[in-house]
Amino acid sequence: MSQESIALRAAGISKNFGPVHALRGVEVELRSGEVTALMGENGAGKSTLLKILNGDYRPDGGSLEIDGRPVEFSDPSDARRAGLRVIAQEPEIIAAVSVAENIFVGDLGGVGFNRRALIERTRTELRRWGFDRALRADALGSDLSPAQRQLVEIMRAVVSRPRIICFDEPTSSLGDEEVALLFSLIRQLQDDGVAVAYVSHRMAEIFQLADRITVLRDGAFVGTKRVSETDHDDLVRMMVGRDLEKFFHRDRAALGETVLELIGVGNEHVTDVDLTVRAGEVVGVAGLVGAGRSELMKTIAGDYPATAGRIVVSGEVRSIRQPSDSIRAGIGFAPEERKAEALLLQRSVRDNAALVVLKSLARWIFVRGRAERALAQEYIQRLRIRTPSSEQLVGNLSGGNQQKVVLARWLATKPRLLLLDEPTRGIDVGAKSEIYAIIDELAHQGVAVIVVSSELPEILGVSDRIYVMSDGRISGELDRKDATEERILALAMNDISA
């Protein structure tokens, strides 16, 4: 490739946060018309690098060049003027205004502001990028789903026609359909000669999208390869520094009593759900985004009380009206929106890992036992939580490491029934296989586990039995030995065509 095609070059980039060396001499080149994937374990420094490119942070060392000319950004508006946009993982959406205003925020120009023209312009943009069926220009910010919020964040970047665009785990809140929209948008950007950087922990996406892959480990630059020169195992080795054992460790455990039985359970989110889980069993719940999987978990956990049917826990009908009722029944729940729902960002890693939360009572019950804490510490090690010490504030950890802290807490508590909603979302490949091993161990210790996941290989890998949901109902049930991706998808699409 010729020199001219390098749109952005970052050389020798370093960044420290106190004693933490987040980046140590990182090298990245982004080429026009190419997708460069940035990969590395949780805490490797990927988001920090993007924040430096965006002008959020000043690097402690190194240099940036755009089109061969040195640049320095002191804030995001500098980066924007240079034609560079970074799409952060967590969209900031203004609730009280429309999608159109959210997209063109900061670009509205006081004088000739004309709402109708703005809506029209937004519609044109949405059509141009193929987002017009997923987003309405006049919808209110407060009415958007997490996936739609992410799409708004993406639109915000592309409408300014940047020449360099960086995505930080853009698919983590997207369903399959929105992922397809995003991928075709990225192809369009490539055709337009835009240089794209793409951070993701999902290998399949990387192999679908990327031309080159740059790997970071512990803040250091490991290397850059063309996608044709590498494969899954090679990338894992580059990221983790070692080979990983077999990815899924499931051995079917001996099944005990029925721990959970739902009989005709329903509320405004789910309808007529029959489901059982036995001690030692791992049950997967599959379905498309919006099928009601998370809502079902929240129904069992007491966030959305059931208004119909019965919930039977270990043979006893329980009234689960609020989260404290489910905790008392021995049910642990690691929700999907971990940061919002489960973490105390201003407290330490140790406190968060050793804490069981009773949200509804608006007070905290601290499980202070020494044994609990030691257990939490053990899980912190097993999940490779990258933190300078267990006293670090959780708010200062990388996104994936925050996820790991919540999971460590729940995995360490050994409830009777454990509900895990998207347990490996945002989590790196090394910790993923460790989480599967822990789920397997818990099953062998007689814990009943329900795993919700959008990743079919994961559902197929961890589950003994799989329920598929569609439109708030159970649309089918498959034993592990009969389950395939095709059969799950067919059941998941059940009501969509109707």
Ligand X SMILES: Nc1ncnc2c1ncn2[C@@H]1O[C@H](COP(=O)(O)OP(=O)(O)OP(=O)(O)O)[C@@H](O)[C@H]1O
Give the integer Cα–Cα distance in Å for 286 and 474.
Answer: 10
Q: Which does 17 bind (CB under 5 to 8 A by kind): ligand X, Mg ion, none?
A: ligand X
Q: Which does 397 bind (CB under 5 to 8 A by kind): ligand X, Mg ion, none?
A: ligand X
Task: Return the number of other C-beta atoms located less than 10 Å from residue 180's C-beta.
Answer: 12
Nearer to Mg ion, 98 or 387 (CB): 387
CB of 299 to ligand X, least distance (A): 30
Helix (H) or strand (E) holding 180, with range, is helix 176-191
CB of 45 to ligand X, least distance (A): 4
Q: Which single residue brings its beta carbon nearest to ligand X?
A: 400
Q: Which of residues 391-430 bind Mg ion (CB under 5 A)?
A: 398-399
Look up residue 228 and give its two tokens.
């044709």
Q: Which does 276 bind (CB under 5 to 8 A by kind): Mg ion, ligand X, none?
A: none
CB of 168 to Mg ion, least distance (A): 6
Give the integer Cα–Cα distance in Å for 124 and 144.
Answer: 20
Burial class (CB in 10 A: 0-12, 13-18, 19+), 327: buried
Q: Which does 42 bind (CB under 5 to 8 A by kind): Mg ion, ligand X, none?
A: ligand X
**In the set 24, 37, 39, 47, which binds Mg ion (CB under 5 A)?**
47
| Residues near ligand X (CB under 6 A) | 17, 20, 22, 40, 42-48, 386, 396-401
CB of 398 to ligand X, least distance (A): 3
* 8 A C-beta contact, residue 13 and residue 48: no
Nearer to Mg ion, 148 or 398 (CB): 398
Q: Which of residues 437-476 bind Mg ion (CB under 5 A)?
A: none
Nearer to ligand X, 14 or 258 (CB): 14
Give the integer Cα–Cα distance in Å for 466 and 482.
Answer: 10
Nearer to ligand X, 398 or 475 (CB): 398
- Residue 254 is classified by DSSP as P
- What's the Cα-to-Cα distance from 292 to each of 8, 281, 409, rounded to whole Å? 43, 22, 25
CB of 348 to ligand X, least distance (A): 13
CB of 149 to ligand X, least distance (A): 18
Give the integer Cα–Cα distance in Å for 474 and 468.
Answer: 6
Look up residue 240 and give its two tokens.
């983790």
CB of 14 to ligand X, least distance (A): 12
Which region, judged by CB under 5 A, interacts with Mg ion, from 41-49, 176-184, 299-307, 384-392? 41-49
Q: Which does 40 bind (CB under 5 to 8 A by kind): ligand X, Mg ion, none?
A: ligand X
Give the integer Cα–Cα distance in Å for 403 and 409.
Answer: 10
Give the integer Cα–Cα distance in Å for 374 and 29.
Answer: 43
Nearer to ligand X, 165 or 450 (CB): 165
Nearer to ligand X, 48 or 390 (CB): 48
**How many residues bind Mg ion, per CB under 5 A?**
3
Phi and psi torsions of 228, nearest 5°? -70, -15
Q: Which does 45 bind (CB under 5 to 8 A by kind): ligand X, Mg ion, none?
A: ligand X
Tally the residues of the chain.
498
Nearer to ligand X, 46 or 163 (CB): 46
Nearer to Mg ion, 129 or 198 (CB): 198
- ∠ at Cα 132 (128, 134), nearest 5°? 135
- What's the Cα-to-Cα distance from 210 to each of 4, 49, 85, 371, rounded to whole Å? 20, 18, 18, 46
Query: Look-up: residue for tokens 């999971």?
Result: 407
CB of 150 to ligand X, least distance (A): 15
Nearer to ligand X, 395 or 457 (CB): 395
Phi and psi torsions of 73, nearest 5°? -110, 125
What is the binding site for Mg ion (CB under 5 A)?
A: 47, 398-399
